[in-house]
Amino acid sequence: MDFLPPDITAYADAYTSPESELLCRLNRNTHAHIMAPRMLSGHIQGRFLSMISWMIRPHRILEIGTYTGYSALCLAEGLADNGKLITIDHNEELEDFARSYWRQSPLNEKIDFQLGMAANILPTLNETFDLVFIDADKRNMSTYFDLIIDKLRPGGFILVDNVLWSGKIVESIKPSDSDTLAVLAFNQKVHDDPRVENVLLPVRDGIMMLRKRN
């Protein structure tokens, strides 16, 4: 995921506001005890998600892909006073781990965890969202986009993680694995969609930021 020279990455980390003590513990314990810790948003991306949320001050946030709950806490920081974040994940084994950290935060009451397959849950949500963060299986990125675009308010934002896919999307050899092909197809799909404006940010593993046109 690291495309910048290590010294540049370290400098950016040093000059980014630090994680809270709670997020720091969650970060550390995810790496110590949970499989595939690279799935965690981490310090810089977490502060980026928080910053975007504070800029928008959303009333409703949707997160697809909870993992250990780190990004949910970051996104929830900028919620409006009466705001709510709905986060969806199918991995029931991580639910207790994530909730154990949410309960230590004053934001806990604003987080609504829904266990199950996102493709099944999304059509049942009767909400209009201001901000959506997609950080789940790559093969269904386009499906998730299709299911939530009409639930996003005009002027609302979607953030999609891993759109650079560890650099595989620009390898000279034509990719053949299904995940890389899905990411390539998604990037092209949203770039061509007249309903949104988009910018691909080389933050960590790449974040596609989309704004739904008014």
* Residue position matching structure tokens 């386009």: 142
Residue 23 exposed, middle or buried by CB count within 10 Å (0-12, 13-18, 19+): buried
Cβ-contact 74, 41 below 8 angstroms: yes
Distance CA 1, CA 132 (A): 22
User: What average pLDDT score do residues 178-190 get?
Assistant: 94
State the sign of the Cα–Cα–Cα–Cα dihedral 165, 166, 168, 170.
positive
Looking at per-residue confidence, does 211 or 202 come out higher?
211
At residue 2, the pLDDT reads 66
Per-residue pLDDT at 176 exceeds 80: no
Give the burial string for 73-112 (b: 16+ CB within 10 Å, else e). Answer: bbbbbbbeeebbbbbbbbeeebeebbeebbeebebeebbe
Per-residue pLDDT at 161 exceeds 70: yes
Per-residue pLDDT at 172 exceeds 80: no
Domains detected in the chain: 6-212 (3.40.50.150)
Helix, coil or strand: residue 80? coil
Measured in whole angstroms, how far is the alpha carbon of residue 56 from the centre of its chain? 15
Global pTM value: 0.94
| 89-106 tens-digit pLDDT | 999 999 999 999 999 999
